[in-house]
């Protein structure tokens, strides 16, 4: 084993970045981020009197994390997510040094990256959803019928945008009121679809889709673009943005097709649905992922309590 105290920190960093570039094939932007974070780490160690890589202790790595979050004269404090990225780079560096025989133990293994604050999903109100749907279906020709059907499916099933645009005509069983969605990892799930969405899809299939079909093969795709091909995710985004502008909702922050999925889950929980049922409908592998929506409904409960209970005022 190489005597680690004799190996300069900069030399280990160079070897690690070469490893990431050549053997791991990481993207150029990722390598640039790692290089920037590790240069700051090397400067921090040097300022603390550490010269050889083997002199680095767990306390040095932990102190670096503190420095990232608190900032200094040259660097502003980093957010939890940015600091976590830097710590991940440092942990990778130390693990590389261990596997390469430069050190006898991994002093960064127990220093955990900070957990970013959980960002609550943004849901819109039922009235806003209805305004959005009405705006999507306004106008003449096949496109409004298609656009209304697409947004009805997104809100009525909680489907991801990729799941919705990937639907085939046969995936929706109007008689049974269910739709078969192809989720992440090739996993399929069957979820109920409401009468509003079923009716919108049927109107689209009868009155609009035939006008969009061209001579090119569409392989049974449900939602088609103006050239007869399957609708893309980018086109679905454009449909939502146009509907939002027409509905006067363009000022809503972070409005996206995923907003309808968030709203689907939040409105179900507001209506009394069990969180595990919502988990199944959304196709979440873990109920922990779904439970973030319960935080949204708790906020709503607080509002109702504060405005309704005679002893809530302080």
- Residue numbers annotated as active site: 160, 184, 258, 261, 284, 293
Please choose, from the candidates 114, 49, 107, the residue with its C-alpha nearest in 3D space to the C-alpha of residue 83: 114
CA–CA gap between residue 86 and residue 136 (Å, rounded): 44
Asked if residue 177 lies in contact with residue 195, where contact means CB atoms within 8 angstroms, the answer is yes
Q: How many CB atoms lie within 10 A of CB 100?
A: 15
Tokens of 45: 């160690």
CA–CA gap between residue 92 and residue 70 (Å, rounded): 22
Contacts 24+ apart (CB under 8 A), 21-24: none
Q: Return the SS3 of 1.
A: coil
Q: Which residues pair with 189 in a beta bridge?
A: 181
CA–CA gap between residue 240 and residue 136 (Å, rounded): 8
CA–CA gap between residue 111 and residue 68 (Å, rounded): 13
The Cβ-side half-sphere exposure at 98, using a 13 Å CA radius, reads: 13
Q: Which residue has the tokens 């305004």?
A: 131
Tokens of 254: 């972070």
Asked if residue 45 lies in contact with residue 9, where contact means CB atoms within 8 angstroms, the answer is yes
CA distances 252 to 126, 130, 162, 259, 294, Å, are 14, 15, 22, 10, 22
């Amino acid at each position: 084993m190489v005597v680690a105290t004799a190996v300069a920190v900069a030399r280990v960093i160079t070897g690690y970045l070469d490893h990431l570039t050549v053997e791991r094939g990481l993207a150029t932007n990722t390598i640039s981020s790692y290089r920037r974070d590790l240069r700051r780490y090397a400067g921090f160690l040097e300022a603390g009197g550490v010269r050889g890589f083997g002199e680095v202790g767990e306390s040095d790595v932990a102190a670096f994390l503190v420095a990232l979050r608190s900032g200094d004269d040259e660097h502003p404090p980093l957010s939890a997510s940015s600091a976590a990225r830097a710590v991940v780079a440092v942990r990778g560096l130390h693990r590389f040094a261990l596997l390469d025989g430069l050190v006898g133990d991994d002093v960064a293994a127990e220093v955990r990256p900070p957990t970013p604050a959980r960002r609550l999903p943004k849901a819109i109100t039922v009235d806003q959803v209805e305004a959005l749907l009405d705006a999507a279906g306004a106008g003449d020709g096949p496109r409004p019928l298609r656009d209304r059907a697409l947004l009805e499916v997104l809100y009525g099933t909680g489907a991801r945008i990729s799941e919705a645009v990937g639907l085939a005509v046969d995936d929706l069983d109007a008689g049974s009121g269910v739709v078969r969605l192809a989720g992440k990892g090739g996993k399929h799930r069957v979820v109920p679809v409401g009468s509003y969405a079923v009716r919108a899809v049927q109107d689209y299939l009868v009155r609009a889709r035939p006008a969009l079909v061209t001579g090119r093969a569409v392989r049974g795709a449900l939602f088609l673009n103006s050239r007869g091909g399957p609708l893309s995710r980018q086109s679905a985004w454009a449909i939502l943005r146009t509907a939002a502008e027409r509905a006067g909702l363009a000022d809503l922050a972070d409005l996206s097709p995923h907003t309808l999925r968030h709203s689907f889950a939040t409105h179900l929980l507001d209506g009394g649905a069990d969180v595990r049922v919502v988990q199944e409908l959304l196709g979440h592998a873990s109920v922990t992922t779904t439970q973030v929506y319960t935080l949204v409904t708790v906020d709503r409960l607080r509002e109702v309590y504060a405005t309704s209970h005679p002893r809530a005022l302080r």
